Amino acid sequence: MYVSDLIPEFLESLEVEKGRSLNTTRNYELYLNRFYELCSEDSSDELKPNDITPELLRKYRLKLNRFEDSQNHEHLSILTQSYHLIALRGFLKYLSKRGIKSLDPTLVDLPRAAKKQVTFLHFDEVERLLNEIPEDTETGLRDRAIIELLFSGGLRVSELCKLNRDSINLERREFVVRGKGKKDRPIFIDQSTADCIKDYLGCRTDSLPALFLNNSKNLQTPSTSGDYRRLTPRSIERIVQGYARKAGITKHVTPHTLRHSFATDLLMNGADIRSVQSLLGHANISTTQIYTHVTDPHLREVHERFHTETKE
């Protein structure tokens, strides 16, 4: 069998057997098709599984590092290169499971990537952002509810977009979302956020199920699903960035910045990292640990105790 035949079969197994999302499957398809193209350009023969050798891997990594996007003429970041290699490693594991001779998946090492820098808002900055939102219109009530919910619940923007009216128990101020890996986790919100959502829903006259609606007049013909006015992640990103600019916040603020802010606020106020991991829905605690360097109170104590203060 040829690699070009096996890639679609692997993608089907990702979706059916592994339960990966459609977006993840599409990304793997992009990465593996690029692998196939880069590794086939030097040969007229069809690429076979046993053609994937350590030498082919070495050449592929070199080409990947030199690859230039045709649209913006930029090279792939180290993180994006890692995604390509993770997809290849998954494909090789699939071949091994089927007993198809190819490269040992353990030989695919990932490049060392720099740790992500976490951007978050302090509580006073969140308040400045909220103060820019008018509360005398349906759109303003909606936007305030969105931003309060992102900060109070620590949701991913994709999770927030999928919420329906009946998703949230506003009396108990808790609900469950299904996050990455189709894992459920509890979300808790404060009374202020619950009141904002009540105010927003109270002024709506529609019966659509989506919790947050697009109020644009230029809407397409309604679909039978009732989702034709549901806000998209991109729309919410524009909403958040718009109020951040009005508030004079110079940081690059996105919906995910508010998720970062939720996590750092908890840790700065003494929450343990395991609890924050659960509230964020992180599968691995190492993902949560990106916040600890900016929230460790011990470091402040060390600085105040041992650093020599300059005298005027």
Mean pLDDT per 10-residue section of the chain, whose length is 312 residues: 94 88 90 94 88 95 88 84 95 96 94 76 94 95 97 95 94 91 90 96 93 77 70 95 96 94 90 91 85 70 74 62
CATH number, position 140:
1.10.443.10
Name the residues annotated as catalytic.
156, 180, 256, 259, 282, 291
Question: What is the pLDDT, as a whole number, of residue 82?
Answer: 93
Specify the pLDDT at position 218.
Answer: 58
Same domain, 244 and 162: yes
Cite the DSSP H helix spans in 154-232: 157-161, 191-202
What Rg, from alpha-carbon coordinates, does the chain have? 24
* pTM of the full structure: 0.70
Same domain as 134, residue 94 = no
CA distance 60 to 53: 10
| Helix or strand holding residue 236 (H, E) | helix 233-246
* 162 shares a domain with 191: yes
Report the alpha-carbon distance of residue 9 to residue 94 in Å, rounded.
10
Half-sphere exposure of 291 (CA within 13 A, CB side): 27
- If asked whether residues 78 and 129 sit together in one domain, one would say no
The pLDDT assigned to 152 comes to 95
| pLDDT tens profile 141-169 | 999 999 999 999 999 999 999 999 999 99
Residues 184 and 279 in one domain: yes
The two structure tokens encoding residue 27: 């990304």
Q: Does 310 reside within a domain? A: no
Cβ burial, residue 40 (10 Å; 0-12/13-18/19+)? middle
Question: Which of these, 267, 257, 273, 272, lies nearest to 294 by C-alpha position?
Answer: 267
Per the structure, the complete domain to which residue 84 belongs is given by 3-107
Which H helix or E strand runs over 145?
Answer: helix 138-153
**Domain closes at, from 83, 107, 131:** 107
* Counted domains in the chain: 2
Flag whether 282 is in a domain. Answer: yes
Judge whether 312 lies within some domain: no
Residues 287, 256: one domain? yes
pLDDT at 295: 64
Residue 117 C-alpha from the chain's centroid: 15
Give the span between the Cα atoms of 272 and 203, in whole angstroms: 39
135 and 252 co-located in one domain:
yes
Does a structural domain hold residue 93? Answer: yes
- 288 inside domain: yes
What is the rounded CA–CA span in Å between residue 68 and residue 192?
48
User: What's the confidence (pLDDT) of residue 43?
Assistant: 80
> Within this chain, do residues 206 and 81 fall inside the same structural domain, yes or no?
no
Same-domain check for residues 155 and 233: yes
* C-alpha closest to that of 14 among 74, 90, 117: 90
Domain containing 85 — which CATH number?
1.10.150
